[in-house]
Structure 1
Amino acid sequence: MINFINTIKEGFTEIISSPLSLATLIGVVILILALIKFKKVKLDTKIMARIGISLALATILHLIKIVDLPNGAGSINLGSMVPILIIAFMYGPEIGMLTGFLFGIIYLIISPYILHPIQVLFDYPLPFMAVGLAGFFKNKKLIGATFGMLVRFVFHFISGVLFFGEFAPEGWSPMLYSLVVNGSVVGGNLLVILIILSLLPLSTILYNASNVSQ
């Protein structure tokens, strides 16, 4: 029994002391919890059709680049997260997260950059799934979009520190490099999103949301 407890303590200590192991644990736990949540989501034909349309629009908007950052660091596109955010505002965070997760898989297929399985998790399904958290703020779309994109940034930031730190310029720490690169990409895209959402009438989104709930 004592050996068993010591083994657990050693394993826990190793996880805590290793950033990659800790990130693996966090990522897998989040993914498992999300998949459990997704299984409880009830989808009808209308919802599935709207999810499909939002994914198609998000993919098209993703391909329209406004700014390409140097050295393949990423790009600012024409508000590819807006369709996913609207789904989140209309149907709530669960379906918003599911839509974001599916977009992450599509993004992985069309723009794969794979260094490690955990890097894939933190750069594709998890960050875009996080955008769906905006659904918690359906009456405050700008706050919701900012929150969802902030959580998305956290996942990209972790990936940048763990897997892309070697690309940091001389004198830069991996954390600073990841902060600057991912902050520029996510921050630039958030700015475009906020402009687009500001131009979209909130009353229309809320009207659609009220129709969905009836």
Structure 2
Amino acid sequence: MNNFINTIKESFIEIFKSPLSLATLIGIIILILALIKFKRIKLDAKIMSRIGIALALATILHLIKIVDLPNGAGSINLGSMVPILIISFIYGPEIGMLAGFLFGVIYLILSPYILHPIQVLFDYPLPFMAIGLAGYFKNKKLIGTFIGMFVRFIFHFISGVLFFGQFAPDGWSPTLYSLIVNGSVVGGNLIVVLVIIALLPLNRIIEKSSSLHSKQL
């Protein structure tokens, strides 16, 4: 029994010594917890159709580039996360995270850049799923938007440090490179999204959507 416990302890020590192993463990745990939550979501035809519309709009807005950063570092688009955010504000964080997760899968299909399976996890489903966290801040939409986008940045940042450090210019550390590149991409998109969210009559949209949904129930 002691040998078994010591083996487990050593395994955990090795995991925490390796950033890639630690990221793998964290990513898989988050994914499993998310999938468990998704199983509990009750979807009706109206919600599914609205998620479908949000995903279609998000994909179209993603393809409209405002700024293309050099060397394939990414782009600033016309607020592709706004439809996902609206779904999150209307239906809550769980459905918002599901919509974000699905968008991440669509993004992977449209623009695959694959270096490692864990990199795929941290660059596609997980960061966009994080946008759904905004649903926890229905009454403070700008704060919710910032938090969702910030957590998205964290996932991209981890991916950049672990997998894209090889592309860093001479004299740059992987951490600095990831911070600047992902900070520019996510930060630029955050500014666009915050402007759109501030200008949209979101309270009216949410109230109208909620009343229509209640009537159908």
Same fold (TM over 0.5): yes
Deviation string, structure 1 residues 13-67 (Cα, Å, up to 9, x no partner): 1000000000000000000000000000000000000000000000000000000
Q: Does the Cα contact within 8 Å between 1:89 and 1:138 map onto a contact in 2?
A: yes
DSSP-derived class of the 2:192 partner:
helix
CA distance in 2, matches of 1:74, 1:138: 29
* 1:117 Cα deviation after fit: 0.2
**Does the residue aligned with 1:139 lie in a helix, a strand or coil?**
coil
Equivalent residue number for residue 133 of structure 2: 133
203-212 or 84-93: which moved more? 203-212
1:189 counterpart letter in structure 2? N
Using the aligned pairs only, state the percent identity. Answer: 80
Equivalent residues in 2 for 1:17-28, closer than 5 Å: 17-28=17-28
Residue number in structure 2 paired with 1:61: 61
Cross-structure match for 2:86 = 86
For residues 102-159 of structure 1, what are the alpha-carbon distances to aligned partners after superposition, in whole Å with 9 as ceiling and x for unaligned? 0000000000000000000000000000001000011111111100000000000000
Give ranges in structure 1 of 5+ residues lacking alignment: none
**Which one is further off, 88-97 or 1-10?**
1-10
Structure 2 residue 39 is matched with structure 1 residue 39: yes
Q: 1:169 corresponds to which letter in structure 2?
A: P
* C-alpha deviation, 1:74, in angstroms: 0.3
Which structure 1 residue ranges, 4+ long, deviate > 4 Å from structure 2? none
Map of 2:14 onto structure 1: 14
| 1:5 equivalenced with 2:1 (yes/no) | no
- Name the SS of the counterpart of 1:67 in structure 2: strand
RMSD between superposed Cα atoms in Å? 1.0
Counterpart code for 1:37: K
CA 1:15–1:22 in structure 2 vs 1: closer, same or farther (change >3 Å)?
same
